[in-house]
Amino acid sequence: MAVEAQLERLGQWLLEAQMGVELVLLVGLSTSLSHAFALLANRLTPRQIAVRLVLDALVLALAFLLASTIDLILLAVVTEHPVSPGDFLNGMGVALMPGLLYGLVAAPYIADLVALTLWFLVHLNVVTMLHLRFALPWPEALLLPTPGLVIALGLVALLFRQSWQESYRQLAGQLERIGGIAR
């Protein structure tokens, strides 16, 4: 009975946080797309690439949800007022919106700059949201989402640890094996 009640409550939260969850999924998809060329570099088939992109998008969305949950728990510990998870997730979804442009990280050479800017904007949004919506003072609002951010960054880096170099080493080996040029 208790489990049923808990599940019902979870379902209600998810319904309340529909917008936030949808946005997080979209950000996950955009982040996944930024790495599409890594899949091409590894010469996967179009079907494998599509499956991999969707799976990566889901895993990334989960990573963002996990980071948001950590922020929510820390917020519940710090603040005395009760925090509605639905409201919080909706707020986080909106704060993550710059991440919708994460696909642009695929751009050559400026990728690091784009990624850094987007992560900075997301963090700034979260800090501002905590300050304005939950009345946290600026220093606390700045510190509180940091563990969540670090975990999200770590998870994205872990997922994107593709074997670029592996495929390129094979490439170099292929050139070396021809053993020189002949007519």
Partner 1 sequence: MTIRSGVRVQVRGERRRIHLALAVVLIGGLLAALLISQRLRGLLLATLNAAELRMVLICGGSALLLLIPIAGIVSLVSQYAFWEGWLAGFPDVECLRAESEVTAADSVAAEAETPPREAANGASTQLFVVYLDGIHQCESDHPGPISAFLTELEQQLPQGTQLLRGLDTYTVMPVALAEDRGGSWFWRRLFALQEQHPSGLVLLLASVLVQANNVIKVGISSDRRYGPIRHYQLALKIGLRLREHGFRTAASSELVLLGYSGGGEMAFGVADYLSRMVQVPLHIISFCGVFSGDHALERVASISTVVGDRDPVAAFSNIAYPGRTPLLPFSRWRRALAAGRVQRRCIRGMSHNGAHGPFSNRYRQAVVDAVLDLLPVLPGCAPAAAQE
Q: How many other CB atoms are there within 10 angstroms of residue 26's CB atom?
A: 18
Tell me the two tokens of residue 123. 């963090």
Give whichever of 94 and 104 is closer to partner 1, judged by the CB atom: 104
Are 61 and 100 within 8 A, CB to CB? no
Nearer to partner 1, 84 or 162 (CB): 162
Out of 2, 77, 81, 174, point to the residue binding partner 1 (CB under 8 A): 174
Q: Tell me the closest approach of the beta carbon of residue 44 to partner 1, in angstroms.
A: 10
Measured between alpha carbons, how far is 82 from 55 in angstroms, rounded to an integer?
34
Cβ-based nearer residue to partner 1, 54 or 171? 171
**CB–CB of 94/124 below 8 Å?**
no
Kindly give, in sequence order, each residue whose CB lies less than 8 Å from that of residue 84, ignoring residues fewer than 6 positions away. 16
Which of helix, strand or coil describes residue 153? helix
Does residue 161 touch partner 1 according to CB under 8 A? no
171 binds partner 1 (CB under 8 A): yes
Considering only 10-18, 63-71, 79-87, 104-112, which stretch makes contact with partner 1 by CB under 8 A? 104-112
Q: Which residue in the set 38, 75, 118, 136 belongs to the binding site for partner 1 (CB under 8 A)?
A: 38
Question: Which ranges of the chain does DSSP label H, i.e. alpha helix?
Answer: 2-16, 18-33, 36-41, 46-78, 85-95, 111-133, 138-143, 146-159, 164-177
Residue 7 token pair:
């599940």
Nearer to partner 1, 58 or 104 (CB): 104
Q: Does 111 bind partner 1 (CB under 8 A)?
A: yes
Site string for partner 1, 46-85 (x = CB under 8 A): ----------------------------------------
Distance CA 179, CA 26 (A): 48
State the minimum distance, in angstroms, from the CB of residue 66 to partner 1.
26
Query: Where do contacts with partner 1 occur on this chain (CB under 8 A)?
Result: 37-38, 40-41, 43, 101, 104, 106-111, 114, 164, 168, 171-172, 174-176, 178-183
